[in-house]
Amino acid sequence: MSDASAATLRPTIVLALPKGRILKEIGPLLAAAGIVPETAFKDPEARQLRFTTNVAGFEIIRVRSFDVATFVAFGAAELGIAGSDVLMEFDYDEIYAPLDLRVGRCRLVVAEPERLASGDDPSRWSHVRVATKYPSLTRRHFAARGVQAECIKLNGAMELAPTLGLSRHIVDLVSTGQTLIANGLVEVERIAEVTSRLIVNRAAMKTRAAELEFWIERFGNAVDGQAAR
Amino acid sequence: MTELASRSLLPAGLQDVLPPDAAHEAEVGVRLLGVFAGHGYERVKPPLVEFEEGLLSGTGAALANQTFRLMDPISQRMMAVRSDVTPQVARIAQSRLARAPRPLRLSYAEDILRVRGSELRPERQFGQVGYELIGAEGPAADAEVILLALEGLAALEIGPLSVDLNAPTLVTSLIASLGLDAETQRQLRRALDHKDAAEVERRAAKKAALFVALLAATGPAERAFDRLAKIELPAIARREAEALHALARLLDAAMPGLLLTIDPVEHRGFEYQTGISFSVFGVGVKAELGRGGRYRIDGAGREAETATGCTLYMDTLIGALGDVAPPRRVFVPHGSPAEAGRGLRAQGFVTLAGLAPVDDVVAEARRLGCGYVFKSGAATPVAS
């Protein structure tokens, strides 16, 4: 066997975590599951991307939320935490999402400018232009009701698109709805409720079932413990 | 783009396989076919392209949107390029080999072409090496097919291996009994495939507890069967679960210590299976090495037959095998006697004959990537 394939036979488990907002909510879950990352992990300024933990052979990587799904789908990480929005967008066959972590709660919505919402009749649409971070999910959502969605992929500040004439609609995550209101937008349709999920690579789940189930159960107990409090 | 670059650019998902990989791939195929032949599986060679109706009926229908079509200018009928070999073998069994005694054991090693690659397998053309056991059913037939895959992979020294057993029809019958609309069924299926317990609870409504219990009955065989035994299943699903258990016992008896996992809810990719299905994984290999299962060959006027088959994915196998040890090559300078080359080849050397005299035979050997040069009657190592 070559060095390259021998390297993939590592005994470690890699957990991919999303940078940013959700990371704060995940902290208590990690602690309850008995995982304490090395101190550099807490430092948002740290350049390091890969961290050891108090558990031997258990590492954490910190990547962008969309990349968590990619790392896990390709087996570069065995475990990950990703929003159900990200999982819907990619719809990777190789990802199992066995546990709802009940954090990162928000919703995925279609929004449009308030002034348009009153005079608009969605049943007459054959084509819509939508600014979104989720082009594939958006196309599927509209196609399911016979409407062709032309998606403009943006990586942030979706709310600007309607006000500046880039598109009439946006598909975006909303938690409190304050950003929509501040930009004169209203929610016209709810696509899905979103929470973060513990995700597992399919091949790893089949070949290292006992180890991974141990961690899924640990996280499951941690979630139940948080809910009980 | 330069003219050379534009001439060498291949369409997405297609590639040239170069030395030594091309030879290695062919050799792996021959070794696998040899193992299958040892168990009485005889090779068939269906054509690359055939009429669409034949290729895309029965088990082939699942891949209809993954199949390239072209118009046959001669018959003016639509033809399809195979995206899977199993439907072709099934067609052969039903037509030209209809009178051959059952069970019929056939094998194949062919390239297939698909419209789109998947995230883990971006290749649109790749090799499939497989076999079909036609006209037999029951745990003994399922066990033969699974054990043969393991034997083939063991012959390639890929391992350790792990087999995931599935019962796609179990979930199909349970979902059908819920009386859900087509869209909810599809979403429930999807949630089950992703082991998304939260979503399953939402979609399965009043039967949520049953499906969540089934989700928990996945994993290492022994524990999964314990859990499965405690679930209250309708009679038809219970029979499926018991057949799965019987098969697991056969496999365990034949190969003690085999890493066996059970997944009664997995369905993706098994849409046309009518019985137990399976996937083979290699520990540390990121994609499945092969998969198979039981299906029905629609009789098209004749009696339908049950078959069980398995397909191994050549690209994943080659990836799992890693680099090949290069052959020992020896440069035989121009003018060496013919028997020198014969002798070296008999010793297992690859001989490269010099076609014209050169001044420095050692330098020439190095230039041609030879580790040896034929000098004073023997293969002499070339210091690098």
pLDDT digits (tens, 9 = 90+) for A14-43: 999 998 888 889 999 999 999 999 998 888
Q: Percent of chain B having pLDDT more than 70?
A: 99
pLDDT tens, position by position, B90-101: 999 999 999 999
pLDDT tens, position by position, B306-326: 999 999 999 999 989 987 788
Q: Say which range, A183-192, B56-65, B88-97, has the weakest mean pLDDT.
A: B56-65
Domain residue ranges of chain B, discontinuous segments joined by +: 1-158+285-326, 159-284, 329-381
**B108 token code pair:** 């194949």
The Cβ of residue B135 has, within 10 Å, a number of other Cβ atoms equal to 17
Residues A98 and A149 in one domain: no
Helix (H) or strand (E) holding B215: helix B208-216
Whether the per-residue pLDDT at B33 is higher than 80: the answer is yes
Whole-Å CA distances, B32 to A60, B25, B35, B181 = 40, 11, 5, 45
Residue A220 near chain B (CB below 8 Å): no
Whether the per-residue pLDDT at B143 is higher than 70: the answer is yes
Q: What is the mean pLDDT of residues A91-110?
A: 94
Residue in A9, A10, A206 nearest the CB of B162? A206
Q: What share of chain B is helix, strand, coil (3-state, %, to 5)?
A: 40, 20, 35
Interchain pair A8, B268: CB under 8 A: no
CA distance B263 to B130: 23
Answer whether CATH 3.30.930.10 is correct for domain B1-158+285-326: yes
> Which residues are within 8 A (CB) of B378 and not within 5 positions of it... i.e. 6 or more apart?
none
pLDDT of A8 = 44
> What is the nearest CA distance from B268 to chain A, expressed in angstroms?
8
pLDDT of A10 = 53
Q: What is the mean pLDDT of residues B111-139?
A: 92
Residue A194 near chain B (CB below 8 Å): no
> What is the nearest CA distance from A210 to chain B, expressed in angstroms?
7
> Which residues are within 8 A (CB) of B271 and not within 5 positions of it... i.e. 6 or more apart?
B62, B168
pLDDT tens, position by position, B234-258: 888 899 899 999 999 999 999 998 9
Residue A92 near chain B (CB below 8 Å): yes
Write down the mean pLDDT value for chain B: 91
Residues A98 and A210 in one domain: yes
**Residue length, chain A?**
229
Q: What is the mean pLDDT of residues A173-183?
A: 91
CA distance A54 to B10: 48
Number of structural domains (chain A) is 2
Residues A99 and A18 in one domain: yes
Q: What share of chain A is helix, strand, coil (3-state, %, to 5)?
A: 40, 30, 30
pLDDT tens, position by position, B144-192: 999 999 999 999 999 799 999 999 888 888 888 778 888 888 888 889 9
Whole-Å CA distances, A109 to A102, A169, B57 = 19, 10, 40
**CATH for the stretch B159-284:** 3.30.930.10
Residue in A96, A201, A207 nearest the CB of B194? A96
Residue in B197, B281, B321 nearest the CB of A207? B281
Whole-Å CA distances, A207 to B259, B286, B287 = 8, 10, 11
Residues A99 and A199 in one domain: yes
Q: Which domain holds residue A135?
A: 106-193
Query: What confidence category does residue A105 fall into, taking pLDDT thresholds of 50, 70 and 90?
Result: very high
pLDDT of B384 = 61
Interchain pair B120, A195: CB under 8 A: no
Residue A100 near chain B (CB below 8 Å): yes
Q: What angle do CA B280, B285, B286 make, to 5 degrees?
A: 95
pLDDT of B173 = 84
Residues A93 and A199 in one domain: yes
Residues of B with CB under 8 A from a CB of A: 118-120, 162, 164, 193-199, 215, 219-220, 259, 261, 263, 268, 279, 281-288, 319-323
> What is the nearest CA distance from B326 to chain A, expressed in angstroms?
13
Q: Which amino acid is at A165?
A: G
Residues A143 and A60 in one domain: no
Q: What is the mean pLDDT of residues A115-131?
A: 85
The CATH number of residue A47's host domain is: 3.40.190.10
pLDDT of A5 = 39
Query: What confidence category does residue B120 fall into, taking pLDDT thresholds of 50, 70 and 90?
Result: confident
> What is the nearest CA distance from B244 to chain A, expressed in angstroms?
17
Whether the per-residue pLDDT at A178 is higher than 60: the answer is yes
pLDDT of B183 = 83
